[in-house]
Amino acid sequence: MVAFASLRRLSLPVVAILAISACRTPPPATTPVPAAPPAVVPAVSVREDSVRRPAVVFADGWRFAKNEPATFAEHGMVSSNAPLASSAGADIMKMGGNAVDAAVATGFALAVVWPEAGNIGGGGYMVIQMADGRREVVDYREVAPLAGSRDMYLKPDGTTDGSIIGWRSSGVPGAVAGLVAAQAKYGKLTRAQVMAPAIRMARDGFLVDSGLFTSVTRSRALIARFAGKEVFLPRDSVLAIGSTFRQPALARTLDAIARDGADVYYRGWIADSIAAEEKRGGGIITKADLAKYTARWREPLVWTYRDYTLVGMPPSSSGGVTMAETMNILEHEAHMPSFGSVAYLHLLGSAYQRAFIDRNSKLADPDFYPVPTAQLASKTYARGLFNAIDRTHATPTPAVTQQMVEGLHTTHYSVVDGDGSAVATTTTLNNSWGSGVYLASVGFMMNDQMDDFAVQPGKPNMFGLVQGEANKIEPGKRMLSAMSPTVVLDAQGRVQMVAGAAGGPRIISATSQVILNVIEFGMPLADAMRAPRMHNQALPDELRLETNGYPATTIDSLRAMGHSVAFLGGIANVNAIRRVPGGWHGVSEPRAFGAAIGY
């Protein structure tokens, strides 16, 4: 059985048309899976007591059904937010590329077909777990420009301005450095081969699908403020579904990178163009900033949860440490309460709350701040936190209330190949369509990642996160991230799952919950992705639940325990893969557009 077998033989534009029809129904959109996979059998490795548990039940009125199929593929799989990008990655593996080649192909393709978040004007993180045991992560997070300073966004009246929209909100982009470095070190094909699908789609065009149409429509006002208006809003209207969208400036930029490597972007004519546009627009990124940028190879953060080993992102992302701390707290519970129960939501929420309190004050770029990673990720530290959880009452986090803004975007993609190597990558412009700034001469959007710093330490940022001095702005420093690309290994060291998400701080909760749903509750991946999610980031001091995900009686009980319960229409955007007998299951976020495509 081959996933998307019929689609694979078609040209990319035809795939796009099918994706459009699959996505035309308004959200909740589902992964466009044309054919049922083989019967869902228990994963190769599931906790024994999870199999003995009563079956997980979704609440009445919850938006998703259980037992939906996943995409099945025997050899390799890509799960991403754009069908054309997943298809580009799968094609690269069919040509003989490995998971890293496919991830880099998917990343550059996302910069073309999913420009709200896929990017070469932003940054991200890639976790690489090779089948031969080698593992490494690339930190290609943006850095603050050399002209950046702690109070650069602070106005005399005590409010801040300029960290979210416009020229001054961008960090120095890292995406090109990261993708090129990963491919050069671990890939099997040439850079030109893996970039070819992206260049082709930028140059010859691709058919606009409902995902891109919806995204441009939602961010129309932001895009229209800058030069992207001419490109994404031709003749003042949103790119039409089914029309061919070409990006010649981006094609030229990608072609130069394919030929000359990252140097042309950081020191060559692309750097000249970026710096010139920044100067004209009032930005602060200079040629010196670009020339100084380097992607960093780091040791992954590795932790265990019961019989599993998780491989994730160390700082400058908070993703790995916060997931590890949360899961270490939970692991002390010998018999996990059942999924969706009051006891489970209380325990999980209390664990996130404690992990986020540490995240918000103690994590930052390790080049600038002594991050206590080992302590925060240790089992002993977690035991103390676990013991302090009152099992009948919520513990208040000192109060600051600020609603998170919904509908912001990043993009995560998960890749596995036929050898069992895996890549988890999350990349972002921060806000959907970043700063709004489109660099016309080089054809891409610039990030607004500066807002991930504690722009005003002690005050909430755009995600309502209250962060401290550790994460203040300093020239050349990476802003703290929540991105959590993660690979899960079983006791034999084989890749079991690949997961990660978009969604600001909710990335951490959604990624860990999809993993817990599989390895703690024995859910098939499709159910684990559809199960209702929850979030707690300590401040604001709220348990946030997906609307209609939990029965009224559960919510009443949580309130009676002292939890302030709030509701969100959706929590994060996960793209995941899981090993099953004979191959892989892939599921793209059921709450969004996207596709898992394999072969």
Tokens of 403: 């609603």
Looking at 40-48, 92-100, 277-285, 476-484, which segment touches ligand DON (CB under 6 A)? 476-484
Angle at 433 between CA 428 and CA 436, to 5 degrees: 125
Looking at 8-16, 70-78, 407-415, 518-526, which segment touches ligand DON (CB under 6 A)? 407-415
Residue 253 engages ligand DON in binding (rule: CB under 6 A): no
Residue 164 engages ligand DON in binding (rule: CB under 6 A): no
| Residue 355: CB minimum distance to ligand DON, A | 15
3-state secondary structure 245-296: ECCHHHHHHHHHHHHHCCHHHHCCHHHHHHHHHHHHHCCCCCHHHHHHCCCE
Residue 430 engages ligand DON in binding (rule: CB under 6 A): yes
Residue 408 engages ligand DON in binding (rule: CB under 6 A): yes
Residue 347 engages ligand DON in binding (rule: CB under 6 A): no
Residue 116 engages ligand DON in binding (rule: CB under 6 A): no
Question: Toward ligand DON, which CB reaches closer, 50 or 322?
Answer: 322
CA distance 328 to 376: 10
Q: Which of 377, 482, 574, 592 binds ligand DON (CB under 6 A)?
A: 482
Q: In the annotation, is 410 catalytic?
A: yes
Q: How many CB atoms lie within 10 A of CB 138?
A: 27
CA distance 59 to 49: 23
* Amino acid (1-letter code) at residue 277: E
Residue 410 engages ligand DON in binding (rule: CB under 6 A): yes
Question: Toward ligand DON, which CB reaches closer, 141 or 563?
Answer: 141
**DSSP state, 70?**
-
Between the two ends of the chain, the Cα-to-Cα distance in Å is 9
Residue corresponding to tokens 């129309």: 220
| Residue 448: CB minimum distance to ligand DON, A | 9
Question: Toward ligand DON, which CB reaches closer, 336 or 450?
Answer: 450
Residue 409 engages ligand DON in binding (rule: CB under 6 A): yes
Q: Which of 503, 532, 549, 583 binds ligand DON (CB under 6 A)?
A: 503
Q: Which of 434, 504, 524, 583 binds ligand DON (CB under 6 A)?
A: 504
Looking at 21-29, 212-220, 503-511, 575-583, which segment touches ligand DON (CB under 6 A)? 503-511
CA distance 255 to 195: 8
| Residue 410: CB minimum distance to ligand DON, A | 3
Q: Identify how many contiguous H helices and E strands the chain contains and give both numbers.
A: 21, 23
Ordered strands of the 71-73 beta sheet: 71-73, 583-587, 576-580, 495-499, 486-489, 308-312, 301-305
CA distance 593 to 216: 14
| Residue 153: CB minimum distance to ligand DON, A | 16
Q: Which of 110, 502, 526, 534 binds ligand DON (CB under 6 A)?
A: 502
Half-sphere exposure of 114 (CA within 13 A, CB side): 29
Catalytic residue among 30, 214, 410, 511, which? 410
Question: Toward ligand DON, which CB reaches closer, 480 or 519?
Answer: 480
Q: 356, 317, 329: which is closest to 536 by C-alpha?
A: 356
Q: 332, 334, 312: which is closest to 322 by C-alpha?
A: 312
**DSSP state, 74?**
S
Sequence length of the chain is: 599
What three-state secondary structure class fits 535? strand
Q: Is 60 exposed, middle or buried (0-12, 13-18, 19+ CB in 10 A)?
A: exposed
Looking at 268-276, 356-364, 369-377, 502-510, which segment touches ligand DON (CB under 6 A)? 502-510
Residue 201 engages ligand DON in binding (rule: CB under 6 A): no
Q: Is 299 exposed, middle or buried (0-12, 13-18, 19+ CB in 10 A)?
A: exposed
| Residue 359: CB minimum distance to ligand DON, A | 11
| Residue 567: CB minimum distance to ligand DON, A | 18
Q: 323, 522, 509, 499: which is closest to 416 by C-alpha?
A: 499
Question: Toward ligand DON, which CB reaches closer, 358 or 452?
Answer: 452
Residue 31 engages ligand DON in binding (rule: CB under 6 A): no
Residue 257 engages ligand DON in binding (rule: CB under 6 A): no
Question: Toward ligand DON, which CB reaches closer, 255 or 367?
Answer: 367
Q: How many CB atoms lie within 10 A of CB 559?
A: 13
Angle at 23 between CA 21 and CA 25, to 5 degrees: 95
| Residue 122: CB minimum distance to ligand DON, A | 9
Q: Which of 31, 328, 421, 481 binds ligand DON (CB under 6 A)?
A: 481
| Residue 482: CB minimum distance to ligand DON, A | 4
Residue 589 engages ligand DON in binding (rule: CB under 6 A): no
Question: Toward ligand DON, which CB reaches closer, 196 or 408?
Answer: 408
The residue count for binding ligand DON (CB under 6 A) is 14
Q: Which of 130, 483, 497, 538 binds ligand DON (CB under 6 A)?
A: 483
| Residue 570: CB minimum distance to ligand DON, A | 10
Contact in structure between 308 and 337 (CB atoms under 8 Å)? no
Looking at 166-174, 194-202, 405-413, 530-538, which segment touches ligand DON (CB under 6 A)? 405-413
| Residue 323: CB minimum distance to ligand DON, A | 13
Q: How many CB atoms lie within 10 A of CB 51?
A: 10
Looking at 9-17, 148-156, 255-263, 498-506, which segment touches ligand DON (CB under 6 A)? 498-506
Binding site for ligand DON (CB under 6 A): 408-410, 428, 430, 449, 452, 481-483, 502-504, 507
Catalytic residue positions, numbered: 410
